Structure 1
Amino acid sequence: MNAIRHLSRADAIEAGALDWTAAIEDVHATLRLLRDGKAGMVAESVIPLGADPRYRAYGLPAFVGGVYDATGLKWTVHRAEPVGDLPSISSTTFINRLTDGAPLGTVESALLTRMRTVAVSAAAIRGLMPNALKSVTILGAGAQAQTHLDMLRSLFPDLGEVHLWNRTRTHLDTLIEQADPNPITRLIPHDRLHEALENADVILCCTSAPEPFLDASAVGAGRLIMQIGFNEVKFETIAATDFVTVDLWGDFADKSAKSLFQMYRAGQFAPSRVAADLPAIVLDGWQPPTGASLYFSSFGLNVFDIAFAARLLRRANELGIGTVMPAI
């Protein structure tokens, strides 16, 4: 009988959760398996936990074949803000072996989800913006903003400037204080949103804003707007963009609160207008014409969570990391 291994956040980090190269390789490998029918997802289950649409619990099942040989469920609870010493997002991923159903373990996966999300952002930026980045703007000062900043400074070492904006300046100051020193990339905080956007090649929207605030003035020739957060981008902004891209379009468009999918359900966006999804960008090398304005909607594909967790559990088993419990 197989033992079940649980990985805390510290265990996951020890097993390689912060390895950017491995994370991006997981994204590429999973996209190939998804295209070949060897990976897949079904629609998430959503449980409202209050009047605020940000207070929800999600059950997200998926399977990933190949070397991952895993099926599982990510269970996550979202709140608008941290409560006490609890983060705004609490998440655990449960993994079984795909080939025989044996339970393998669980991973505390809020960090893993951020790594997955940011690895997708990195893969999309590399595909959509092949020329060297000079300036990136990050909107927000929470965990997603922090992890995106870490990614930029790790994977784009020649990046000259990262402009930062957040509604609450003290949160922004904390983000900057916690950032690792980097003599190449300057961190430039802004009190005014329009000033933070002025020179950006890429705008990363990483906020929990319940109402959209990024208007069409943010659209620019050769600029990529990436929506990571909840609902920051106005319909007019998406409509003004030359090319709309997504990580994937699926049944989740019928229920997700992401700006693009709200726009679709309002009858103001046709799915046929999606120029490329992540498989086309990463696997097929789709690129927009030079100087085009771009929008990328990152829904967050739970199939990557299962692949990441399976890799970490396999590595943890090899190294004896984590807490082992007998299977029932």
Structure 2
Amino acid sequence: MITLRYLSRADVIAAGGGDWPSALADVREATRLLRAGEAGMEAESVMPMGGDPRANAYGLPAFVGGRYDAAGLKWAVHLPESRGDLPSITNTTFINRLSEGRPLGLVESALLTRMRTAAVSALAIESLLPRPPSRIAILGAGAQAKAHLAMVLALFPSVGEIRLWNRSADKLDALLADTPSPAGVALVRCAEKTDAIADADIILSCTTAPQPILDDDAVQPGRLIVQVGYHEVSFAAIAASDVVVVDLWGDFAARSAKSLFQMYRAGQFKPDQVAADLTSLVVDGWRPPAGASLYFSSFGLNLFDIALAARVLDQAEASGIGTALPYL
């Protein structure tokens, strides 16, 4: 009998979905498989859900070979705002065995989406900075900011101070209240963005800002700016950066709302100005010149969603976690 394993959020966590070293290892291995031609993605499908342009459903297919042996689809529904106990964004991933097509499971994957995004940021930090960071600024107070805060605390023991800023003070207060006081790390609440980024080795911009909040005055020698959100970084800031790195330059450059891709479509940035992508960092060991100002644009690759979901499903099956449903 063929069964389909269903994993709730609690099941995902029980099966290791919240483990940061594992998420980072997944991103690194999936990147190697992408370079080797053993992983890949198809263009996303976008379906409007009503008259609001912010309301869309996205179908994101990808495959990842190697130890993952998985083909899958992440189905993400984005609404302008939450409704009752329903969040504004829901993510569900369906996984088949790549080698034989056998259906494996259905995974609630909002947590995994945040994990893989922050793990990509961690890989950028490890690869682009010449030494471990000591002071980091996090802009934003939503789910991605929370994930990046957790990632920094879990993976970068060198960090002694994290400065946090958000336009909405109450959301920032809620984020800090929800974060256990870490030993040896100062969490500093900043009322002004300029205070948050002052002297920061890294700026992790994790907002939904529709207009840039970081301009060229945020660009400094040796500083890494990681853009996680949509249009947070000005064209001038990107142009002022010595080194521009992306996770991948793909067909999404023609439609993504990311600042870098908007700049490209405006005719102010050329693809050959990208110094490196994730495969260059992971496989080739590419590193930037010493003292360069650095900008990393994280689009978010759906092959990482498939890798994380496949790893969690394999662990869930081995440990008897989740609900096995009859399929055939």
TM-score by structure 1 length?
0.97
Q: What's the CA shift for 1:261?
A: 0.7
2:47 is the counterpart of 1:47: yes
Instruction: List aligned pairs for 1:153-164, cutoff 5 A.
Output: 153-164=153-164
Secondary structure, aligned partner of 2:85: coil
Secondary structure, aligned partner of 1:275: coil
Separation of aligned partners in 1, 2:313 and 2:301: 19
8 Å CA contact 2:130–2:290 kept in 1: the answer is: no
Instruction: List aligned pairs for 1:175-194, cutoff 5 A.
Output: 175-194=175-194
8 Å CA contact 2:21–2:155 kept in 1: the answer is: no
Secondary structure, aligned partner of 1:26: helix
Q: What's the CA shift for 1:235?
A: 1.0
Instruction: Tell me which amino acid in the other structure corresponds to 1:304.
Output: F
Separation of aligned partners in 2, 1:142 and 1:218: 22
Give per-residue Cα distances to partners, 1:239-274, cap 9 Å, x unaligned: 111110000011111111111111111111100000
8 Å CA contact 2:23–2:116 kept in 1: the answer is: yes
Change (3 A) 1:24 1:188: same
Secondary structure, aligned partner of 2:276: strand
Separation of aligned partners in 2, 1:219 and 1:61: 36
Give per-residue Cα distances to partners, 1:67-90, cap 9 Å, x unaligned: 111101000012344333222320
Instruction: Tell me which amino acid in the other structure corresponds to 2:149.
Output: L
Instruction: Give 1:15's aligned residue.
Output: 15
Instruction: Give 2:210's aligned residue.
Output: 210
Q: What's the CA shift for 1:160?
A: 1.2
Instruction: Give 2:259's aligned residue.
Output: 259
Q: What's the CA shift for 1:285?
A: 1.7
The worse-fitting range, judged by mean Cα deviation, of 263-272 and 183-192 is 183-192
Change (3 A) 1:115 1:131: same
The worse-fitting range, judged by mean Cα deviation, of 208-217 and 46-55 is 46-55
Change (3 A) 1:148 1:64: same
2:124 is the counterpart of 1:93: no
Instruction: Give 1:4's aligned residue.
Output: 4
Separation of aligned partners in 1, 2:132 and 2:50: 44
Separation of aligned partners in 1, 2:272 and 2:87: 38
Q: What's the CA shift for 1:114?
A: 0.4
User: What is the RMSD of the two structures over their aligned residues, measured on CA atoms?
Assistant: 1.3
Secondary structure, aligned partner of 2:321: coil
Secondary structure, aligned partner of 2:162: strand
8 Å CA contact 2:32–2:282 kept in 1: the answer is: no
**Aligned length in residues:** 328
Alignment gaps of 5+ in structure 2: none
8 Å CA contact 1:54–1:210 kept in 2: the answer is: no
Secondary structure, aligned partner of 1:295: strand
8 Å CA contact 2:211–2:231 kept in 1: the answer is: yes
Instruction: List aligned pairs for 1:270-289, cutoff 5 A.
Output: 270-289=270-289
Separation of aligned partners in 2, 1:214 and 1:228: 13
8 Å CA contact 2:78–2:89 kept in 1: the answer is: yes
Change (3 A) 1:271 1:64: same
Separation of aligned partners in 1, 2:32 and 2:296: 20
Q: What's the CA shift for 1:225?
A: 0.5
Change (3 A) 1:146 1:191: same
2:323 is the counterpart of 1:326: no
8 Å CA contact 1:211–1:232 kept in 2: the answer is: yes
Alignment gaps of 5+ in structure 1: none
8 Å CA contact 1:80–1:208 kept in 2: the answer is: no
Separation of aligned partners in 1, 2:129 and 2:81: 33
Q: What's the CA shift for 1:58?
A: 1.0
Separation of aligned partners in 1, 2:88 and 2:241: 31
Separation of aligned partners in 2, 1:306 and 1:217: 38
Secondary structure, aligned partner of 1:173: helix
Give per-residue Cα distances to partners, 1:257-314, cap 9 Å, x unaligned: 1111111111111000000001111222211111110100000000011011111111
Instruction: List aligned pairs for 1:295-314, cutoff 5 A.
Output: 295-314=295-314
